[in-house]
Amino acid sequence: ASSLGLELEVVARPYAGVRGVWVREGEEAPELPRERGFKPLPKRWVVERTFAWLGRNRRLAKDYEANPGVSEAWVYLGMLRLLVKRLARAA
């Protein structure tokens, strides 16, 4: 990845749904940290937001295409539609 100039960051969720931990007999269980409310993870929300925008297009809401090239073309068309709508709103 360094040869391509890309950087990868692995982000752990603050609370991954751990319900309990094993402890020895006689020991107290540690307090499990829990985050309250919705906390978007760094950079991950960008991808999820983009998938939500693409999911608004009927052909991209489900994976119907057998050819990956056709799916790629529909992704381009979906993003182009979004761009044109934003440009029209700004004008």
CB atoms within 10 A of CB 21: 8
Written as six digits, the tokens of 3 are: 């040869």
pLDDT-derived band at 83, boundaries 50, 70, 90 = very high
How far apart, in Å, do the first and last CA atoms of the chain sit?
Answer: 40
Q: pLDDT-based confidence at 66, cuts 50/70/90?
A: confident
| Angle in degrees, CA 41, 59, 72, rounded to 5 | 70
- DSSP 8-class letter at 32: P
The reply to whether the predicted model has a pTM over 0.95 is no
Highest mean pLDDT among 8-12, 63-67, 77-81: 77-81
Query: For 1-58, what is each residue's pLDDT tens digit?
Result: 567 888 777 666 655 566 667 888 888 877 766 666 776 667 777 888 888 888 888 8
**Cα gap 59→40, rounded to integer Å:** 28
